A and B are shown apart, each in its own frame.
Chain A
């Protein structure tokens, strides 16, 4: 398990936990990123991370991406 910010581009991961405040967690989950959801990392360079979740692309600030803990899908 590692933060989303460390995931590689093209990697498919499962969200394990989101250690952010109530507001950020609710917002993420309303956009399709909640615990146990599968997301694909589209872009991860030095800035925010772009993931593809439930059919749409979402950019997540790097600070928040550090608080989203994920696991590689095949590990499960």
Chain B
């Protein structure tokens, strides 16, 4: 007999579940993904009275009907893993709605402990909740707490210890449905295979037309007997409730209304500050006007504040590389270490400050309550391009760096919406592309520099929206999911929660995307120092004559016929290959390949390009392969299949756009 219990935390979004999770588990947290999906799985541990508890944080859900991935995860976990205890956290200020999930948990026959969070807030609003009465009506233990103020946490731990051992399930009765439920159970009982399930749960779910349970029953021997009876029942219920499956929903709310009436004194009023803020922030015109500075601040904060830190990390790693080069005499090993591994690790860590500040800002907005309003404001516009309102944040973030932007899509529940938003994200021109634009715009269009650079950003946005609309129509063939989002009350964010969220997300990027990035950098290094004739020596990285024999050059030369319509030479093509490591590397690679310093480069490329071919090259750099880090994060978020899809469509699109620019440009000029 092990002395370790497994308990699960579940609750609606915005009830303070993460805060409680942190309060219970402290530092012992492990983050992974739920098997088979990219939804975050958080686990932690705590000890109480010599007993160990493993805490699993289930996704925030409103119900367990399982129409979203989060609900499927939560339901499957409770049914299949059978945790020793399900701790259901409810927002005391919105008990009426929160009890809906509680009832569903009770239907499942889980061993439940109900936690009423935000009790301090409820009291402030003049609400009184009769805990004893609530316990008696529901037949389960109820613990009032305030997770933020750490009030009641010890009581909760004690209650957990008490309830975890004597497993029992309390039944909830639905007066109008009992006859139906009993009858269905009496049929289900006859199948031995179904005995492992809670029959009452199956019966209720059958009346709700739940696909998952229908599938379970479909494979049982009693289907023939059950079907006609169930069909009759559904017909009857349809007459009563409009739609049969909505009957049980109404019953649940009837039960809840009765409970609330008996238990809660003085119903909650609305928070006035929230009302006042929303009058302004969700206004059709003012809201949009205010959204722009908010997003601008988010953007500026992320990239400007992180800038010096990234530069510092960059500096430290180049310094390290120098040290390694001068202290190891074996050229191959020193270059592998310095130009491959160290600069690869550096390439990963440079993202650390950017991600840290982005996630800090995002968590801050999330905890404040404003985040939920952003999709509301953007929904209408985004819908025109087949995108949900929530896609606005990742797209804006993409201007800074696509890596954190893609990770920011995690707030989207609908998988198709999320994949689509990730796929178009690399078209948002990140800051690493700017040096390329600056070089070419300065060399060829000095009079219109600003305008030319701006046109690249605009091209990216327009393409992203068009591609989104096209993919929506031909790849996903669905409409963007309807916006249904709760607008939580505004509050002053809690620094420790924000910091903890930030660290968890940054860490998961470093751990998962890191290896691919390091590998990519080493690969390009290998392609540079080796050629068809064998090992060229590390001088290849500094000497254009030697580099001309490397695999990089071979690939560049192989590619150049394909790009001959655009008039790019093989050096320009090889530079694109280096650009895969990071887009800003393109400029340095061009300088190296042409055998000049970056200062002399603009004079030299004037001879190698024409204004039209230069503009096409800029556009190509914008669109083709995302950098290795972006690719790594796409793979991390949505898997190899979509990462390769992104890669292919972008190369094709880049080619088409560059060719179009060349053809049209040459006709005009």
Contact = CB atoms under 8 A, between A and B. Distances in A.
Interface string B379-404: 11001000001000000000000000
Interface in B230-248: 241-243, 245-246
A28 B245 CA distance: 13
A32 B68 CA distance: 17
Contacts of A57: 270, 274, 278, 486-487
B660 to A, nearest CB: 35
B249 A31 contact: no
A29 B249 CA distance: 7
B636 interface: no
A26 B63 contact: yes
- Choose among B373, B376, B483, B486 the residue with the greatest number of A CB atoms under 10 Å from its CB: B483
Contact of A28 (B267, B377, B484): B484
Nearest to B378: A47
- Choose among A30, A42, A58 the residue with the greatest number of B CB atoms under 10 Å from its CB: A30
Nearest to A29: B249
Interface in A20-45: 20, 22-32, 34-37, 42-43, 45
B484 A59 contact: yes
Contact of A34 (B67, B249, B485): B249
B482 A30 contact: no
B27 interface: no
Contacts of A63: 383, 479, 482
A17 B188 CA distance: 32
A58 B96 contact: no
A22 B245 contact: yes
A64 B250 contact: no
Given A47-B376, A61-B383, A32 B96 contact: yes
A52 B245 CA distance: 24
Contacts of B372: 59
Interface string B58-70: 0000110101100
B93 A60 contact: no
B270 A52 contact: yes
B284 interface: yes
Interface majority SS on A: helix, strand, loop or mixed? mixed
Given A34-B253, A61-B379, A55 B67 contact: no
A34 to B, nearest CB: 5
A3 interface: no
Interface residues of B, number: 46
A62 interface: yes
B291 to A, nearest CB: 12
Interface in B355-374: 372-373
Contacts of B97: 31-32, 53-56
Given A34-B246, A36-B250, A59 B96 contact: no
Contacts of B377: 47
B484 A64 contact: yes
Contacts of B246: 25, 29, 34-35
A63 B383 CA distance: 10
A46 interface: yes
Contacts of B484: 24, 27-28, 31, 58-61, 64
A13 to B, nearest CB: 16
Contacts of B479: 63
Nearest to B95: A55
Contacts of A32: 96-97, 100, 253
B234 to A, nearest CB: 14
Contact of B283 (A27, A45, A55): A45
16 contacts: A23-B67, A24-B484, A25-B245, A26-B67, A27-B68, A29-B63, A32-B100, A34-B246, A45-B284, A46-B380, A47-B284, A48-B380, A55-B267, A55-B268, A57-B486, A58-B487
Interface of A: 17, 20, 22-32, 34-37, 42-43, 45-48, 50, 52-64
Given A31-B97, A48-B379, A62-B380, 19 more contacts: A26-B63, A27-B67, A27-B484, A30-B101, A32-B96, A34-B246, A45-B284, A47-B377, A50-B278, A50-B282, A50-B376, A54-B97, A55-B95, A55-B96, A55-B267, A56-B488, A58-B485, A59-B485, A61-B389
Query: A-B pairs with the 3 shortest C-beta distances?
Result: A30-B63, A61-B483, A45-B284
